[in-house]
Structure 1
Amino acid sequence: MSRIVTSLAAFTALTAAAAAADLPRRAPPPVFTPVPVFTWTGAYFGINAGYITTTKDTVFTAGVLPANNGVINGNRPAALPLPQDGFTGGGQIGYNYQLTPGAGVVVGLEADAAYTDLNRSRGFIGTNRGISVFRQSTDYLGTVRGRLGYAFDRTLVYATGGFAYGDVSYRGLYESAAGVPTFYGARTRTETGWTAGGGIEYALPTDSFLNFFKSSAVTVKAEGLYYDLGRRSVVLAGLPGVGVGSYVSRFQNEGVLGRVGLNYKFGSY
């Protein structure tokens, strides 16, 4: 009897083992890898290009001595517009900090410098056939600005404003009807002022074909800025033997620019 019980127990154990071997194996749970949330936090550098034009560019002139009455009698221009426009292109560096990843407020600081194709010469022939020629040019324009915006994931809308500076040259020349120079004045200096504007920026995927520097993100932007570099008075002094006294011409430096840019961001994802 004991042999029968022992045989039944062994048979039952073997049957259970065989059945267990046929059961499907339980796979290990998948490893969850969270997708990183994009943030605008980080340093960046880039390039920009666009179009720039003046909005206030009239030269106002007045005589200093009573004998300098060319403006009064119409032989010299009291107000002569010098509109300027052209290409602008340069580079920028900056840093952004996003308060909350994904969507949230972004604050930042940016500095840029750009070549500007702003230059214009214009002549005027007065009532007594006197020839007046004025010229104004801006070789470069730079800014140091704060930025405040709101990010919708990879899209950033921002306002910006701060300090502006530029290298500006002024020149004025008066000639007689016969073409003899009588009054002349010129000045070149770095002008300073302010700028304000806004823009929109979008972050491309990290594996974008534009990511030559293997940065954490490549961003493209479009922005517009208004700048004011103030006004500058230039003395047109009488030349020896032909001019007595002097005139004073006041130039203006205000304009707008629109540009697009490409940035390479480093730091957080």
Structure 2
Amino acid sequence: MKKTTLSAGLIAALLATPTGAADLRYGAPYQQPPPYAAPQTWTGAYVGVNVGYQFGSAAFNMNPSGFVGGLQAGYNYQINQFVIGAETDFQFSGAEDTFAAYKFSNPWFGTLRGRIGWAMNNVLIYGTGGFAYGGGEVEWFGWSQTKTHTGWAAGAGIEVAFTPNWSARAEYLYVDLTKETYTMVGLTTDIESSIVRFGLNYRF
């Protein structure tokens, strides 16, 4: 009776062994979990550069337009998915146009703006608005006069972080600089501009 029980157990073990070996040999390999990646944070200071194009308008149906480029710096603070911050920028511009004997240009401008946005990990969608200032210059028969205009700016953009420190963005900005009188030539004008620009930021 003992021999029969022992033989039956041995036969069952031998029959089960190939199945177990096959499972070990042909089973799906163990998948390693992906490395942990910390979520993107937008909190901190940053500096950057930008380049774009300015579409302007001024008196006498002049449209001072041209390429722009400059620098920006700011600070963001993230609360859950909300991002608030402030930014300043300074731009050099080739925007100019002529009417009859007049040539009018907006060679530089700058802004100081607040920003509020919504972060989706490494993507930030934001709106912005605040104070603006800029230079105007009129030329007439070899004479020239410059003025500094002040006003406001507002816009929106999207920024994408491609490393923990570097990000790229696309932005639209409307700048409205109020009227100034160029007494030498009797010209009173404001400067309204739409700017489309692309930037690169480094965050500390």
Corresponding residue for residue 86 of structure 2: 109
Q: CA deviation at 1:34?
A: 5.1
Corresponding residue for residue 157 of structure 1: 125
> Separation in 2 of the partners of 1:262 and 1:150?
19
Aligned length: 172
**Structure with larger Rg:** 1
More helix by share: 2
Corresponding residue for residue 203 of structure 1: 161
Letter paired with 1:190: T
Letter paired with 1:234: Y
The correspondence of residues 1-269 of structure 1 with structure 2, limited to 5 A, is 35-54=37-56, 56-58=57-59, 80-100=60-80, 104-123=81-100, 133-172=101-140, 186-206=144-164, 217-236=165-184, 248-266=186-204
Deviations 1:139-190 (A, max 9, x none): 11111110000001110000000111112112445xxxxxxxxxx9753122
Q: Percent identity?
A: 38
> Separation in 2 of the partners of 1:249 and 1:205?
50
Q: Which of the pair has the greater relative contact order for Cα pairs under 8 Å at 6+ separation?
A: 1
Q: Gaps (5+ residues) in structure 1?
A: 1-32, 59-79, 124-132, 174-183, 207-216, 238-247
> Separation in 2 of the partners of 1:49 and 1:153?
26
Deviations 1:211-263 (A, max 9, x none): xxxxxx210000000001111222357xxxxxxxxxx3322211110000000
TM-score, normalised via structure 2 length = 0.77
Secondary structure of 1:96's aligned partner: strand
Q: Gaps (5+ residues) in structure 2?
A: 1-34
TM-score, normalised via structure 1 length = 0.60
> Separation in 1 of the partners of 2:173 and 2:199?
13
Kept in 2, the 8 Å contact 1:225–1:257? The answer is yes
Secondary structure of 2:40's aligned partner: coil
Deviations 1:76-100 (A, max 9, x none): xxxx221121100011111100002
RMSD of equivalent CA atoms: 2.2
